[in-house]
């Protein structure tokens, strides 16, 4: 039987360039969120490492089966009796390539699903910032929808947010919730973050959980923050307004998904339009 009510927390981070330093801070915030009643806790994109360079990245990351930080996070989920979604980690797949991978861990400390970021952030912004994720990361090829005690949850990461077809595909396959762990740049976040997240919630009739990176990082990158929890009706239930690591928390009633979808059933409408 699916439970109707739970508490979700989104952890906001300002991740640095050393995994060994970053991990204890992440574990502490997860513990604090649990102490405040969270049943499901989600961390941002690149939870444990915002590297200076590809060389530094590959000097620190591991193959999945060798990654001690994953073991630590699984152990914590078991200890705290929580469901934990690690927004993403860089996971080595060979000596030159990695994947940007989300993990979902159950309250028994077991990984029950993962998702590799599909859409690579390959852009040159007007601010002069240049990003070429595809030079380091292998793009994912499949969507990921996992059963948790409160219903199905779909996993996405950051730049995926700009591709609404992905979100409709997740919703029409039964998801009630969608995660968007992110490291949005300050430049793009200030312009688009809120409107994109609220739009994805309204279009799909899903709760959107969006933990974010924030502030000026050791690698020089500046991220927007403003972690959000958004209802299926597009209401902001919680927002991180501090430019510091923290967490936000909200009460979730899963019945709101069907209530919103029944009011506006466009989320499931399929049509192949003719062209004049």
What is the residue-level pLDDT of the chain in tens, covering all 276 positions? 577 899 999 999 999 999 999 999 999 999 999 999 999 999 999 999 999 899 999 999 999 999 999 999 999 999 999 999 999 999 999 999 999 999 999 999 999 999 999 999 887 777 667 778 998 999 999 999 999 999 999 999 999 999 999 999 999 999 999 999 999 999 999 999 999 999 999 999 999 999 999 999 999 899 999 999 999 999 999 999 989 999 999 999 999 999 999 999 888 887 778 888
**By the 8 A CB rule, do 117 and 100 touch?**
yes
What residues are paired with 215 via a beta bridge? 223
Residue 144 falls inside a structural domain: yes
Kindly report whether the global pTM for this prediction surpasses the value 0.85. yes
Angle at 183 between CA 226 and CA 192, to 5 degrees: 60
Q: Is 138 an active-site residue?
A: no
Q: Where are the beta strands (DSSP E) in the chain?
A: 5-12, 40-42, 83-92, 98-105, 111-116, 122-124, 130-132, 145-148, 151-155, 175-179, 207-210, 214-216, 222-224, 228-230, 236-239, 246-253
Q: Which of 10, 34, 45, 206 is catalytic?
A: 45
Residue 164 has a CB neighbour count (10 Å cut-off) of 14
Residue 266 falls inside a structural domain: no
Q: Is 158 an active-site residue?
A: yes
Measured between alpha carbons, how far is residue 274 from residues 81, 192, 246, 271 in Å? 52, 31, 49, 9
Quote the tokens at residue 25: 């801070």
Cα–Cα distance, 1 to 129 (Å, whole number): 48
Beta strand pairing call for 151-155 and 145-148: antiparallel
Angle at 234 between CA 231 and CA 239, to 5 degrees: 65
Q: Is 117 an active-site residue?
A: yes
The CATH number given to whatever domain includes residue 38 is 3.60.110.10
Closest to 19 (Cα-Cα) out of 49, 59, 56: 49
Residue 162 falls inside a structural domain: yes
Residue 140 falls inside a structural domain: yes
Residue 272 falls inside a structural domain: no
Domain carrying residue 237: 6-261
Residue 276 falls inside a structural domain: no
Q: Which of 74, 158, 206, 246 is catalytic?
A: 158
Cα–Cα distance, 114 to 117 (Å, whole number): 10
Q: Which of 117, 152, 206, 246 is catalytic?
A: 117
Number of structural domains found in the chain: 1
Residue 174 falls inside a structural domain: yes
Quote the tokens at residue 94: 């060979």
**By the 8 A CB rule, do 231 and 209 touch?**
no
């Amino acid at each position: 039987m699916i439970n109707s009510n739970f508490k979700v927390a989104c952890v906001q981070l300002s991740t640095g360039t050393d995994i060994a330093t970053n991990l204890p801070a992440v574990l502490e915030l997860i513990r604090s969120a649990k102490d405040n009643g969270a049943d499901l806790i989600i961390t941002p994109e690149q939870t444990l490492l915002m590297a200076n360079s590809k060389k530094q990245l590959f000097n620190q990351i591991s193959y999945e089966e060798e990654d001690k930080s994953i073991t630590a996070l699984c152990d914590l989920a078991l200890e705290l009796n929580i469901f934990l979604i690690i927004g993403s980690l860089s996971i080595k797949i060979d000596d030159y390539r990695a994947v940007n991978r989300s993990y979902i861990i159950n309250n028994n400390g077991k990984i029950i699903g993962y998702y590799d970021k599909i859409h690579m952030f390959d852009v040159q912004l007007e601010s002069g910032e240049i990003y070429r994720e595809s030079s380091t990361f292998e793009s994912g090829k499949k969507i990921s929808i996992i059963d948790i005690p409160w219903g199905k949850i779909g996993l996405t990461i950051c730049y995926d947010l700009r591709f609404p077809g992905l979100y409709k595909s997740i919703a029409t396959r039964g998801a009630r919730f969608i995660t968007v762990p992110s490291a949005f740049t300050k430049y793009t976040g200030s312009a688009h973050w809120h409107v994109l997240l609220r739009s994805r919630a309204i279009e799909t009739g899903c709760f959107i959980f969006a933990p974010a990176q924030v502030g000026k990082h050791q690698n020089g990158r500046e991220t927007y923050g403003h972690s959000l929890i958004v209802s299926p009706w597009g209401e902001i239930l919680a927002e991180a307004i501090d430019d510091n690591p923290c967490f936000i928390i909200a009460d979730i009633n899963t019945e709101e998904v069907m209530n919103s979808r029944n009011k506006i059933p466009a989320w499931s409408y399929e049509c192949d339009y003719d062209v004049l």
